Amino acid sequence: MNELFSIGEFSKITGLTVKALRFYHERELLVPARVEAGSGYRYYDHDNVQAARAIVALRELGFSVAELADILADHQDEADIVEFLRRRKQQLAEQIETDRQLVANLDRIIQQETEAKALMSTPQFEVEEKQLPALLVAGIRMRGRYDECGPVFGKLCRALGRHIAGKCMCLYYDGEYREDDADFEPCVPVKRAVEMEGVAVRELPAGRCVSLVHRGPYQQLGRSYERLLQYVKQRGYQMQLPTREVYLKGPGMIFRGNPKKYLTEIQIPIEDS
């Protein structure tokens, strides 16, 4: 026989106050096994005890009343709720790992931005105007992502070898950032014209430019471009394309090196407006 407990007895069994039991009844979360028609007295049975224990456990875990209603509506007994909690535990563990990775990424970004800001204030890396001499280069013009230039530099260096006469550089023909279809030309200075399939050799004309040596990862070049473009605008110059990036120090053919120590000279050709 399934024994019935008064609301006071049930309160003592479950650790829920009478006020809480009435509240859960009103919300139809914990409906008594029997309610006397005349007096309205509530009586609870063993099934109510299990439901009450589930409610206490879920509330301790921080679930709201609305969430309790959904959980209890979808799960029939204690074993079912335990399985739900097991799945929720796995979800939380995965979320914790995601959050841990996010915190690590935030730490990295904060460190990079702090270092970049400090470096940009160093007098050594100031905008300057200079005259660029005419320069004979061999290059491969292409469309694609900016990070695709690395293998092309490797191809040029292997093919041209002893003919190379300076640092690798890249010409950028777009006046904006483009994600997948950028128009650019990896190239190297050469001592003399060399005929090679797929490689264009020509002379870059002499001219004026504003220049800035950027120290740090390529992903932070935008900070240096901002300084250069501010300088150009403040003096009323007209930017000419293509702009140039000269890679004074960067990853080698085998070792990547330390990106914090990469040196890239950005050159923006200019004309007076």
Query: What does the pLDDT look like over 21-78, one tens digit per residue?
Result: 998 898 888 889 899 888 889 999 888 888 888 888 888 877 878 877 777 776 656 6
Q: pLDDT value at position 47?
A: 83
| Whole-structure pTM value | 0.59
Amino acid of residue 257? G
Confidence of residue 117 (pLDDT cuts 50, 70, 90): low
Residues 156 and 159: their CA atoms lie apart, in Å, by 5
Mean of all residue pLDDT scores within the chain = 85
Pairing of strands 182-189, 135-139: antiparallel
Q: Which residue has the tokens 């100031």?
A: 126
For the chain, what percent of residues have pLDDT higher than 90? 33
* Phi, psi (rounded to 5 degrees) for 246: -105, 125
Domains identified in the chain and CATH numbers? 5-74 (1.10.1660.10), 128-272 (3.20.80.10)
Q: Which two tokens stand for residue 196?
A: 């090679």
φ, ψ for residue 91 (rounded to 5)?
Answer: -60, -45
Q: What is the DSSP letter of 164?
A: B
Q: CA 3 to CA 15: how far, in whole Å?
A: 18
Please report the DSSP string for 11-64 in residue order. HHHHT--HHHHHHHHHTTSS--SEE-TTT--EEE-HHHHHHHHHHHHHHHTT--
